[in-house]
Amino acid sequence: MFTLLAWVQDYGYMMGVDVASYQFLITALESRADSLTWELVTSRLLHEDLKRKEQEQEAQKTSACHYCGEQGHWIAKCPVRIRENAERQRPQRANVADDDDDCGDYLFSVGGGTSKSSEVWLVDSGATQHMTYSKEYMKNYKKMTPVDVHLADDGVVQAVGCGDIVMSMKSPRGIKKGVLTKVWHIPKLSRNLFSVGRFTKDVGPVTFERDGCFAETKKIKWQLGAREGKGLFKLCMTPIMPDEANVSSSKDRKGDTTSYLWHLRLGHIGHGGLDAIVKKGYGVGINMTAVKQWELCDGCALEKQTRVSYMPKSPNYAKKLLEVTHSDVCGPMKTSTFSGKKYFVTFIDEYSHFCVVYLLRNKSEVAAKFAEFVAFAETQTGGRTRENPPCEATSQ
């Protein structure tokens, strides 16, 4: 047994297969009456290996991948899964045409301040604009005509807005803050990108060294980005949340800006509720004598809209029992009852909603069942019907 096991192990090492999976073949070979040779063992192993590969290929042809749903491969070798994993691990880099028409000119400023955020930004020497997927840190936000942004993986996303972001950074003189201007808002972007080209144009040169990249403003050299991997630099800044509500100061929105601002501050309160607060003096710090109607709120339009009901409730035309009776026939059913009936007919009184159901062998029995229902209903209620049989009864 030791010799046979050694042969199988040698074969497994050469072919790159799991030796433990051949345990049944080893047992079968050991039970042979004749002596074993290397040629015999090798031929049986090759035959077993070939048979397993054929079975695996046949299973792949009939089985579907659990990831993409296509046949012919397993999930471990799914090309869609492998490609998506590779794209997910590769950082996105944007390369776009420079467009300055949508935003005004700004200069980089330095002052005192602290940060309350830990958003991650990547330094990108190929991007021509600062880009972010979130506008929660933006101030002076403006919507702009969508601009196509072409990514390194041949994908295309659109920039829909522009604004400024206050960033906190460490410098030799302590914690300082600066302003990233002309930041594009791209909701479908997966990473926040810091444009070296944009920074160089607005502020000054950037130098790349072994430990990171550095910039110099007002004769102060400070680290702009730290090396995170091969060719990847993490921005040594964190965005600061604006102190006030992120309301655009543009004149695109008509109406009174003060009323609209308090509408946002008070959780998108309605005009009537805000007007009551102002008139009754409940609001502390609301310096308004009257509330003017604002034209449109995007958040309210999206979150407070409701759908009109599909069909209004139909009026009840019946004023007494048996004045209006509704009837319908259903069938034939795929499975009949024990008595061989495949249809049923219903009679519903509109005034009382009382319902009677009859089982039918054939659809031609509807007229007889209608007469039976009329006799039953008139006896029980004392009322009278107009005795107009249903269409199914008159068509047979």
Q: For residue 183, is it within any domain? A: yes
Residues 151 and 274 in one domain: no
Residues 179 and 195 in one domain: yes
Residues 118 and 66 in one domain: no
Closest CA to 163 of 124, 199, 127, 132: 132
Residues 98 and 235 in one domain: yes
Give the CA count within 13 Å in the CB-facing half-sphere of 322.
17
pLDDT the model gives residue 9 = 55
Average pLDDT for runs of 10 along the chain of length 396: 54 53 69 70 77 69 70 76 68 42 39 44 82 83 86 81 83 74 84 83 80 77 75 79 48 56 84 84 74 80 78 70 89 90 92 91 91 89 72 54
pLDDT the model gives residue 314 = 63
pLDDT the model gives residue 388 = 62
Could you tell me which residues are beta bridge partners of residue 171? 174
Closest CA to 377 of 355, 344, 345: 355
Looking at the 3D structure of the chain, how many domains does it have? 4
Residues 108 and 21 in one domain: no
Q: Within a 10 A sphere around the Cβ of 130, how many other Cβ atoms?
A: 25
d(CA 276, CA 288): 12
Q: Are strands 220-229 and 232-235 parallel, antiparallel or unpaired?
A: antiparallel
d(CA 148, CA 150): 6
Q: For residue 312, is it within any domain? A: no
Alpha helices by DSSP H, listed for 31-169, are: 38-62, 79-89
Q: For residue 313, is it within any domain? A: no
pLDDT the model gives residue 49 = 77
* Encoded tokens for 162: 């522009």
The residue out of 247, 270, 303 marking a domain boundary is: 303
The residue out of 239, 267, 283 marking a domain boundary is: 239
Residues 121 and 213 in one domain: yes
C-alpha separations of 194 from 82, 117, 132, 198, 219 in Å = 29, 16, 9, 8, 22
**Domain range holding 353?**
325-394
Residues 163 and 281 in one domain: no
Residues 217 and 112 in one domain: yes
Residues 30 and 80 in one domain: yes
Residues 137 and 155 in one domain: yes
Phi, psi angle pair for 92, to nearest 5° = -80, 145
Residue 373 is part of a domain; what is its CATH number? 3.30.420.10
d(CA 316, CA 319): 8
Residues 104 and 15 in one domain: no
**SS3 assignment, position 71:** strand
pLDDT the model gives residue 249 = 39
Residues 143 and 230 in one domain: yes
